[in-house]
Homo-oligomer: A and B are copies of this chain.
Amino acid sequence: MTRDEILDAAAQIFRQKGYHATSMQDIANAVKLQKASLYYHVNSKQEILLMILDRALDILIARMQEVMAMPLSPEEKLRRAMIAYFQIMLEQRDLASVLLLEYRSLEPEFRQRHIPRRDHYEHLWRELLNEGKNQRIFHVSDIALAARFLLGVMNWTITWYREDGRLSPEELAKECANLFVLGLKVRENGDQRKN
């Protein structure tokens, strides 16, 4: 039994039941250990949560940095970043869900340790929007706000997206990107989209 196996199992149950509704007994059952044995591998339930959150953000940050380093236009980078985000959301469903929905369950001292990673990730998205603004490709009046709206749409999808649904992460990202990049309103001079 490794620490990572415990984290994976915990993430799965946290996602299903939520942090507070999950007991250490639940986690122990999932990895076929006695509850007490968990404490050989981890220090506390809060630590488990923190490690899950950190791990999830590390994955998101790594993928985002890859995209940012590509020699692409800001618009294309945005589309790729969104695809990457939705892919991670599907492939690392448990981690992503816990990151987005159980952040509130982190007690203050643990939250303090987690915040820098959060800020780093949000900063990457602001950077992306800023590139687009500087190159006169994006119209953004408030970068920080736009980044939050952008992350908001994507974050909320975790609450309703089903992996057995009809939409793949790519299709989801495409629809979302179209909406954000082109807007709802029809563009008079030849709308390049088709239904």
Alpha-carbon distance A140/B189, docked complex (angstroms):
17
Contact among B104, B145, B188, B193 for A101, CB-based, below 8 A: B104
Decide if A181 touches B179 in the complex (CB within 8 Å): no
Is the pair A139, B180 in contact by a Cβ cutoff of 8 Å?
no
Across-interface contacts of A140 in B (CB, < 8 A) = 184
Q: Contact between B189 and A141 (Cβ–Cβ < 8 Å)?
A: no
Interface residues on chain A, size class: 35 or more
Q: CA–CA, A101 to B100, complex, Å? A: 11
Interface centre among A104, A146, A156, A189 (most CB of B within 10 A): A156
Cβ-defined contact, A139 with B184, below 8 A: yes
Stretch at the interface among A56-64, A86-94, A147-155: A147-155
Asked if A12 is at the interface of the complex by the 8 Å CB criterion, the answer is no
Complex A-B: 25 CB contacts under 8 Å: A18-B20, A20-B21, A21-B105, A78-B184, A137-B186, A138-B184, A138-B186, A139-B186, A139-B187, A141-B193, A142-B175, A146-B184, A148-B156, A148-B157, A149-B175, A149-B176, A151-B156, A152-B157, A153-B153, A155-B156, A180-B180, A180-B183, A183-B183, A187-B187, A189-B189
